[in-house]
């Protein structure tokens, strides 16, 4: 392993070679008479052992990005119209089917929001967790079982020996999500994508699952892409955050710096529209209006119809995601002004 | 707020709601689940009461029982002095216009084949004395403006609106009967944060303008803190702590409330200095077979033998000024030790 570790503020090792890299990735959804541009030329990197959060509201393209990385875009309809996805230097978009199969599940894995719809209701939990092991490692029956029980213990499912034989409906929501995590980790992947992993769970269970994910990530030095709409979950669990709006990355950087001092009006709006559990607030500063229709996006900056700072420039010219500070990018013509003025 | 000379608009006393468990060939009732077991609280006019808890704690059943959608087993619900559990259906029909409900999912509560105008006017067909038929269009436009919808879209169907706008239609419909109390059952939980903020602001504005009382049911503590004056925390069908908002957030005494507050993801974790993170083990037990004694004891780190034997009652805690049900409440002297600075 030849890795150059640079010590950042938080002493998090960054390895020079990214684990995953998206280059100018664009995704489209084709329906009978229209094309929705779900994701527009986004660039991202995720490093070993790092948690990158993709934060956005519904329809911002965060889940579509995850599906594209996993090669799971709905067919027909979902199309990668532009760009490349590199995983350990290997291009994924134009990979042959056999090579793709080898990679997915073994090195890249995903867990979804709703574990009950992701698990097969008529197969035992143990069988489903062991599926990848049987197919890929051709382990014997006993060896598989042993390994599955190990995995179930790893994700802290109590009484694993007996629950091995149970069906998904016999598990609570939190336990089902643990099963999904065990399933995703069966082959020790290098990258785990967690698409809203705790959104369907209660807060006390959410806390358990997020802690578990963190521990497992540290153990295996996995790269983790955490997709969420919850600013709290992102702030507590991610190293870096990419904020998405209407298919664009509008801002990216270290979580703490982005949240403390956002450099895009949308992030500012997002931060001020959440009620705080820490203090009592008066009135929330909501973002006026609605996200745009992706089949008919506005000209220029996608956020300009809802932005209080918008000028003619914003209506005409699309801002590019540009570096405004080391490790910090924003796609706003007035990023500097937003940074310097606390309140807009 | 001078509550001493005000009468509560809604008073729930020892409410019990249970569901039968039917088994076997003849679907005989073999036992029952007490979804709500002896819950009491009051709501005053112009006030917002928050009912918080995790899924299965019975908070929605409380709402449904108040509205008469479920039958209570015992206890009473006084609305402006009248006991809703004892009055006839006819009387209930008249009273029901004063209590309206907004659900979590606007898609499920709006008929997709009805235009907005028809959705809003539908309640007036039943309660014909509220608005005269010739004034309907004028009144619809007024209500739509009140909730921030464009009156010109009165002839559109629900699918032509976004999720947030659809929730506004639901609120408009609830307002059509000029209620005194609105029960919001997870009314903002399905919305994106920026839209959620708009709806929360709307609810606050309406309260100021119309003097409404809200019973706000939510699992989201930050939303509850933002909107509510009073908060009751439920666990497995029981209220385990209740009090003014600030008391609950600043000086919770029940371990479950503490754990719940600690589990809320914090958008600014770097500001937190008292990081005594509590992560509960295990899941909520089944309400069909609740633990003996204190219902929280199976997940509580302070549980002792007493908790197994005796159920704690909701009693006032003198040093904080609100009520909680715990044998070993988090006391004032316990709090400094739990303040661990994060380095």
SS3 A87: strand
Q: Choose the closest CB to A211 out of B226, B271, B279.
A: B279
Query: A151: alpha, beta or left, given left = phi > 0 and alpha = psi -120 to 50?
Result: alpha
pLDDT at A3: 42
Beta strands in chain A (DSSP E): 6-7, 13-14, 20-30, 35-46, 51-55, 78-87, 90-91, 108-111, 191-195, 223-228, 240-245, 248-254, 322-325, 328-330
Residue A190 has pLDDT above 90, yes or no: yes
One digit per residue, the tens of pLDDT, for chain B of length 343 reads: 445 567 899 999 999 999 988 888 888 888 888 899 899 999 999 999 999 998 888 999 999 999 888 999 999 999 998 999 999 988 888 888 999 999 988 888 999 999 999 999 999 998 988 899 999 999 999 999 999 899 999 999 999 888 889 999 999 999 999 999 999 999 998 888 888 898 999 999 999 999 999 999 998 888 999 999 999 999 999 999 999 999 998 889 999 999 998 888 888 888 876 656 788 887 888 888 889 999 999 999 999 999 999 999 999 987 788 999 999 998 644 443 333 333 3
pLDDT at A203: 87
Would an 8 Å CB–CB cutoff place B337 in contact with chain A?
Answer: no
Size of interface A-B (CB pairs under 8 A): 127
Of A8-12, A217-221, B28-32, B47-51, least confident by mean pLDDT is A8-12
The Cα-based distances of A293 to A9, A27, A35, A273 in angstroms read 40, 15, 11, 21
Cβ-Cβ contacts under 8 Å, A280 against chain B: 225-226, 245-246
Would an 8 Å CB–CB cutoff place B259 in contact with chain A?
Answer: yes
- pLDDT class for A278, splitting at 50, 70, 90? low
Q: Is the dihedral of CA B222, B322, B230, B59 positive or negative?
A: positive
Quick check: A235 and B200 CB within 8 A? no
- For chain A, the straight-line distance linking the first and the last C-alpha, in angstroms and rounded, comes to 47
Q: Which residues contact A325 (CB under 8 A, 6 or more apart)?
A: A253, A257
Residue A178 has pLDDT above 80, yes or no: yes
Q: List the structure tokens of A7.
A: 């010590």
pLDDT at B139: 94
Residue A81 has pLDDT above 80, yes or no: yes
Nearest partner of B11 among B181, B252, B217, judged by Cα = B181
Q: Which residue has the tokens 């739990």?
A: B338
pTM: 0.85
Quick check: A204 and B280 CB within 8 A? yes
CATH topology (fold) of B10-98+179-254: Rossmann fold (3.40.50)
Q: Which residue has the tokens 């003025």?
A: A341
Quick check: A203 and B269 CB within 8 A? no
As a whole number, mean pLDDT of residues A299-309 equals 92
Q: Choose the closest CB to A290 out of B162, B245, B280.
A: B162
The Cα-based distances of B110 to B32, B103, B116 in angstroms read 32, 10, 9
- pLDDT class for A9, splitting at 50, 70, 90? very low
Would an 8 Å CB–CB cutoff place A271 in contact with chain B?
Answer: yes
pLDDT at B4: 53
- pLDDT class for A8, splitting at 50, 70, 90? very low
Taking only residues 169 to 208 of chain A, the set having a beta carbon closer than 8 angstroms to any beta carbon of chain B reads 172-175, 202-208
* Mutation to test the B interface, candidates A198, A210, A282, A286, most B Cβ within 10 Å: A286
Cβ-Cβ contacts under 8 Å, B265 against chain A: 203, 206, 210, 230-233, 235-236
pLDDT at B275: 58
Quick check: B267 and A235 CB within 8 A? yes
pLDDT at B338: 39
> Taking all residues of chain A, what is their mean pLDDT, rounded to a whole number?
88
SS3 B316: strand
Of A134-138, A265-269, B97-101, B128-132, least confident by mean pLDDT is A134-138
Residue A75 has pLDDT above 90, yes or no: no
Residue A7 has pLDDT above 50, yes or no: no
SS3 B249: helix
Quick check: A275 and B223 CB within 8 A? yes
Complex ipTM > 0.95: no
Q: Do the beta carbons of residue B258 and residue B324 sit within 8 Å?
A: no
Quick check: A232 and B266 CB within 8 A? yes
pLDDT at B343: 32
């Amino acid at each position: 392993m030849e890795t150059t570790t640079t010590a950042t503020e938080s002493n998090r090792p960054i390895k020079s070679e990214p684990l995953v890299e998206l280059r100018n990735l664009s995704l489209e959804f084709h329906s009978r008479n229209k094309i929705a541009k779900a994701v527009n030329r986004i660039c991202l990197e995720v490093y070993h052992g790092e948690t990158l959060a993709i934060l956005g509201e519904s329809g911002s393209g965060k889940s579509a990005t995850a599906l594209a990385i996993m090669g799971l875009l709905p067919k027909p309809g979902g199309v990668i119209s532009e760009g490349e996805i590199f995983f350990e230097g290997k291009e994924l978009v134009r990979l042959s089917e056999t090579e793709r199969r080898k990679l997915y599940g073994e090195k890249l894995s995903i867990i979804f929001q709703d574990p009950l719809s992701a698990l097969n209701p008529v197969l035992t939990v143990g069988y489903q967790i062991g599926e990848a092991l049987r197919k890929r490692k051709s382990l014997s029956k006993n060896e598989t079982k042993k390994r599955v029980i190990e995995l179930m213990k790893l994700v802290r499912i109590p009484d694993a020996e007996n629950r091995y034989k149970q069906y998904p409906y016999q598990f609570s929501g939190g336990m089902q999500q643990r099963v999904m995590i065990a399933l995703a980790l069966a082959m020790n992947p290098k990258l785990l994508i967690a698409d809203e992993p705790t959104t369907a769970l209660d807060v006390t269970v959410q806390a358990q699952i997020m802690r578990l994910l963190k521990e497992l990530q540290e153990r295996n030095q996995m790269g983790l892409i955490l997709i969420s709409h919850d600013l709290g979950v992102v702030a507590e669990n991610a190293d870096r955050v990419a904020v998405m709006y209407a298919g664009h990355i509008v801002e990216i950087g270290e979580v703490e710096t982005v949240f403390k001092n956002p450099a895009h009006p949308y992030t500012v709006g997002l931060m001020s529209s959440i009620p705080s559990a820490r203090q009592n607030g008066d009135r929330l500063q909501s973002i006026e209006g609605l996200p745009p229709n992706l089949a008919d996006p506005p000209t220029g900056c996608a956020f300009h119809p809802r932005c209080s700072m918008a000028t003619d420039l914003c209506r005409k010219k699309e801002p590019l995601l540009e570096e405004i500070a080391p490790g910090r990018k924003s796609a706003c013509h007035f990023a500097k002004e937003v940074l310097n003025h606390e309140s807009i | 707020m001078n509550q001493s000379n005000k009468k509560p608009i809604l008073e729930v006393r020892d409410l019990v709601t249970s569901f039968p468990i039917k088994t076997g060939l003849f679907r005989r009732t073999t036992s029952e689940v007490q979804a709500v077991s002896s819950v009491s609280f009051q709501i005053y006019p112009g006030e917002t009461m928050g009912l918080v808890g995790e899924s299965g704690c019975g908070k929605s059943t409380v709402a449904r029982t108040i509205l008469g959608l479920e039958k209570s087993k015992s206890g009473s619900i006084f609305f402006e002095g009248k006991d809703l559990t004892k009055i006839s259906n006819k009387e209930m029909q008249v009273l029901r216009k004063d209590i309206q409900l907004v659900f979590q999912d606007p898609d499920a509560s709006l008929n997709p084949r009805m235009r907005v105008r028809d959705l809003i006017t539908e309640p007036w067909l039943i309660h014909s004395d509220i608005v005269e038929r010739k004034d309907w269009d004028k009144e619809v436009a007024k209500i739509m403006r009140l909730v921030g919808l464009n009156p010109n879209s009165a002839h559109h169907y629900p699918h032509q609106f976004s999720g947030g706008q659809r929730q506004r239609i639901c609120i408009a419909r609830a307002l059509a009967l000029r209620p005194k109390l609105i029960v919001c059952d997870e009314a903002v939980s399905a919305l994106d944060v920026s839209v959620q903020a708009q709806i929360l602001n709307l609810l606050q504005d309406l309260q100021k303008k119309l003097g409404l009382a809200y019973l706000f049911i939510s699992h989201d503590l930050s939303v509850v803190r933002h909107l509510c004056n009073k908060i009751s925390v439920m666990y497995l069908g029981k209220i385990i702590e209740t009090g003014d908002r600030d008391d609950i957030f600043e000086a919770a005494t029940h371990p479950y409330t503490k754990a719940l507050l600690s589990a809320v993801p914090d958008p600014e974790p770097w500001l937190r200095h008292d990081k005594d993170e509590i992560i509960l083990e295990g899941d909520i037990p089944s309400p069909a077979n609740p633990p003996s004694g204190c219902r929280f004891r199976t997940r509580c780190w302070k549980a002792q033998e007493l908790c197994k034997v005796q159920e704690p009652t909701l009693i006032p805690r003198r040093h904080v000024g609100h009520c909680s049900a715990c044998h070993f409440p988090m006391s004032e002297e316990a709090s400094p030790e739990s303040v661990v600075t994060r380095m």
